[in-house]
Structure 1
Amino acid sequence: MFRYLPFIISLATATNHYTNLYATHYDGNIYTLSLDSGNSLSITSSLKTCGDAPSWLTFDSSTRTLYCSDHSGNATINGSLSSYSVHHDGRLTELAKTLDMGAAVHSIIYGGKHGTNGGSALSTFRLPLSSDEEALQVLRYQMSQPGPKSQQNAPHPHQVILDPTGSFLLVPDLGADKVRVYAIDHHSGHLNACPSLNYTAGSGPRHGLFWKSKPSHLAQAPVTMLYTVSELGGHFNAFSVSYLSSGCLAFQEEQSFVPYPGGQLPAGATPAELRMAGSSLYASIRFDQGFAPNDSLVTLLRSPDGTVKFSEVSSSYGTVPRTFVINKKGTLVAIGDQASSNVAIVMRDPQSGKLGDLIANLRVGEPGQASNSSTGLSSIIWEE
């Protein structure tokens, strides 16, 4: 289930000689990791919390609050959403915990008074979160019939995306082959449904992000793009986005290709996470064994007009890279490999976007099973 939380733009400046990261593991723990100036990565603390299956972390730097989504529910059994105060030494203190509708897999803070996503529903909560607080809004999803792939027997919302204006929320639904679109009522935080972006049957859109061009001296109108990766179909898609007078969005597909050398994924390989920094986009590829026994990250390059092309592939330094995050400076990438249950820190050139050497690697918790998506490391985030 996805969570949406009110957002205040205020960046905290770190003065310590180390950087904290937080990782969730399906063993039920949130781990605090420390990367020091000598590139030594270590576990400094762990907290058994956030239900039986912590799956996603969202950090609000303005309030130093960490939110954790619990994936242990399903369409009929509630998971949970928890909030924590983040101390400067990385320790966490639980502030509140509330039931959530279904198995929560992602959360985001948005500019209403509320915030969540998971199972076959989307829930929003008022912030700051209070224990046992009821959801402000619950949008339950249904399908008239199963999709063509075995993973599509029910709706499967997998992420929540905020558009560049802060006025729309998008929810890629892997089960229903669509990205659901909502307009935000900024006064109430209420989400109003708009027409969805539909995909070819069997695509399974999983993750996405927006990009908006900056004004130029060429008097060209700014371009807004939506980029997505589809887990089941294996494609990267680029859509130009228009803001309609009706108060909704329109999408025009500009590109669709398989983001992998030769334009074809190995049998069983799937895209998972999608991130962007500067003019580079990155997608994690699970089960490809591109750097056996490790899986891969692919780098894509974006042109000023918003089109994207394949650049190169590099190692994820572990198996089943479920998630990865880029620090604010754009100099480091933390890769969360689910099955091998390790966090790998890789150098990144902020000018070229090229990924460089592995500088730290640490196993966090027990390794998971590649055949069981509810085991192993589940998420990683920088404290920034």
Structure 2
Amino acid sequence: MSLRFWLAVGLVDLVTAANIFVSHYTGTVQSLTLKESGGGYTLVSNGSVNVGGQPSWMTYDRDTRTIYNTDETGFGSGILTAVSAAPGGGMSLSGKATGVMLGGVHSTLYGPGYLAVAHYQTSSITTYKLPLSSSLRVQETLTFRMNSPGKIPSRQDAPHPHSVFPDPTGNFLLSPDLGADQIRIYSINKSTGRLTACASYISQPGSGPRHGTFYGDNILYVGNELSNTVHKLSVTYPSGGCLKLGFQQSLTTIANNRTLPSGSKVGEVHTQDNFLYVSNRRDLSFPPNDSIASFSLDEMGNMKFQQITSSGGTYPRTFAINKAGDFIVIGDQTTANVVVAKRDPATGLIGAQVASMRIGSTGRPENDDGLSAVLWDD
């Protein structure tokens, strides 16, 4: 055989394989490869690295191929870790900071080299100047308080920031607060990474905003954990002022608006092309499994319920759509399995599940165990 032939074979292998990162509450981060062979697909493990704590979220810096892991540990001392991900799938622990505030559930990169972390348990947001090392110290701590419990006291006894993310301009940082029913907004000083509070957006009582995703520059969709709804919010930038949000639309994430089992709650929201996707945890729409709901978006960004499909397991805490838009990966927390399904980029419809793989130990409903997060390496 000619050298050209073998180079072509190698090229085919490259374009028919994709890597996926997975974190598990037992303290591991793992790399998987989705491989196509004979018209079928399999998930293959490339190995894992032990980062310690209870890694709840992965933030991926694609430029440096670094995965930052928050720690949801609720006692003792929290940590922040960094994992270097080699293009071929190898992984190694490249940074670790100790003495971090407890209950880190989400993080984001912002500005020129900063990381922000939302701490659900301790009602706080902390920020850090990267790179991450053992000498890393908190740059800024924002701690929140409430005068009285919210509409659902069992979940809204205190402020509970559940995520943090920058706006499309990179000038503002937003944080949905499940406990306080608001979205906190901060302007970013790009020279120092420090945050200045703007007026918060006040959500509907008992909605419990958890996760958000921008659609263009002027629309934000927010998944509400407690009301099982997704809200469409307008985004405006008054001259010389703070980013402002305005309510425009609300839809349930449950097909036919049926009565839900106790403990049902929205997880993540993502947009891809002209479509919006939301994970439903413990809705049991496909007993015993849960679901992913999808919405089509018109030219104004208005939502229309389109489809509900099985998540392939229980408690789909996170999911991600690849850059090409033809696959979705779902991280089912309680059943601790990674599910990959096809997606039609033109229609937005999620199709057949093509691969599933158990990762580590299974979890228990309503507990911080099992599989915690998934993302594509693309």
- Fold conserved between structures, TM > 0.5: yes
* Pair 1:137 & 2:137 matched: no
How far apart, in 1, do the equivalents of 2:126 and 2:259 lie?
34
Equivalences for residues 1-384 of structure 1 within 5 A: 15=14, 17-38=16-37, 39-49=41-51, 51-73=52-74, 77-99=76-98, 100-115=100-115, 116-119=117-120, 120-149=123-152, 150-212=154-216, 224-268=218-262, 269-372=264-367, 374-384=368-378
The verdict on how the C-alpha distance between 1:254 and 1:301 changes in structure 2, with shifts beyond 3 A counting, is same
Q: CA deviation at 1:90?
A: 1.6
Q: Deviations over 1:277-322 (max 9, x none)?
A: 0001000111111111111110111111121111111110101111
**Higher alpha-carbon deviation: 331-340 or 138-147:** 138-147
The verdict on how the C-alpha distance between 1:186 and 1:265 changes in structure 2, with shifts beyond 3 A counting, is farther
How far apart, in 2, do the equivalents of 1:188 and 1:281 lie?
34
How far apart, in 2, do the equivalents of 1:102 and 1:143 lie?
19
Unaligned runs of 5+ in 1: 1-13, 214-223
The verdict on how the C-alpha distance between 1:275 and 1:124 changes in structure 2, with shifts beyond 3 A counting, is same
How far apart, in 2, do the equivalents of 1:43 and 1:15 lie?
16
SS in 2 for 1:52: coil
The verdict on how the C-alpha distance between 1:351 and 1:113 changes in structure 2, with shifts beyond 3 A counting, is same
Name the aligned partner's letter for residue 375 of structure 2. I
Q: CA deviation at 1:274?
A: 0.4
Aligned to 2:6: none
How far apart, in 2, do the equivalents of 1:87 and 1:113 lie?
21
**Higher alpha-carbon deviation: 198-207 or 105-114:** 105-114
Name the aligned partner's letter for residue 47 of structure 2. S
The verdict on how the C-alpha distance between 1:15 and 1:376 changes in structure 2, with shifts beyond 3 A counting, is same
Q: Deviations over 1:164-194 (max 9, x none)?
A: 1111111011011111101111121111110
Mapped contact 1:183–1:247 kept (Cα < 8 A): no
How far apart, in 1, do the equivalents of 2:308 and 2:167 lie?
28
Q: Deviations over 1:256-283 (max 9, x none)?
A: 1212222345132211110110001000
Name the aligned partner's letter for residue 55 of structure 1. S
Aligned to 1:7: none
SS in 1 for 2:125: strand
How far apart, in 2, do the equivalents of 1:112 and 1:184 lie?
11
SS in 1 for 2:84: strand
How far apart, in 1, do the equivalents of 2:118 and 2:36 lie?
36
Mapped contact 1:78–1:103 kept (Cα < 8 A): no
How far apart, in 2, do the equivalents of 1:307 and 1:97 lie?
43
Q: Deviations over 1:106-140 (max 9, x none)?
A: 11111233112223111111122222310111111
Mapped contact 1:260–1:310 kept (Cα < 8 A): no
**Higher alpha-carbon deviation: 90-99 or 324-333:** 90-99
Aligned to 1:6: none
Q: Deviations over 1:19-78 (max 9, x none)?
A: 2211111111112211113221022212221x321111111111111111111136xx54
SS in 1 for 2:49: strand
The verdict on how the C-alpha distance between 1:87 and 1:16 changes in structure 2, with shifts beyond 3 A counting, is farther
Q: CA deviation at 1:16?
A: 6.5
Unaligned runs of 5+ in 2: 1-12
| Larger RCO, structures 1/2 (Cα 8 Å, 6+ apart) | 1
Q: CA deviation at 1:245?
A: 2.6
How far apart, in 2, do the equivalents of 1:137 and 1:72 lie?
20
Mapped contact 2:336–2:371 kept (Cα < 8 A): yes
SS in 1 for 2:129: coil
Mapped contact 1:112–1:184 kept (Cα < 8 A): no
Q: How big is the alpha-carbon RMSD for the aligned residues of Structure 1 and Structure 2? A: 1.6
Q: CA deviation at 1:358?
A: 0.6
Q: CA deviation at 1:253?
A: 1.0
How far apart, in 1, do the equivalents of 2:307 and 2:54 lie?
34
Q: CA deviation at 1:148?
A: 2.6
Name the aligned partner's letter for residue 257 of structure 2. G
Mapped contact 1:173–1:206 kept (Cα < 8 A): yes
**TM-score for the superposition, normalised by structure 1:** 0.89
Q: CA deviation at 1:92?
A: 1.7
Q: CA deviation at 1:159?
A: 0.9
Mapped contact 2:219–2:301 kept (Cα < 8 A): yes
Mapped contact 1:102–1:118 kept (Cα < 8 A): yes
The verdict on how the C-alpha distance between 1:134 and 1:260 changes in structure 2, with shifts beyond 3 A counting, is same
Work out the number of aligned pairs and report it: 357
SS in 1 for 2:304: strand
The verdict on how the C-alpha distance between 1:195 and 1:171 changes in structure 2, with shifts beyond 3 A counting, is same
Name the aligned partner's letter for residue 22 of structure 2. A
Mapped contact 2:107–2:165 kept (Cα < 8 A): no
Mapped contact 2:150–2:180 kept (Cα < 8 A): yes
**TM-score for the superposition, normalised by structure 2:** 0.91
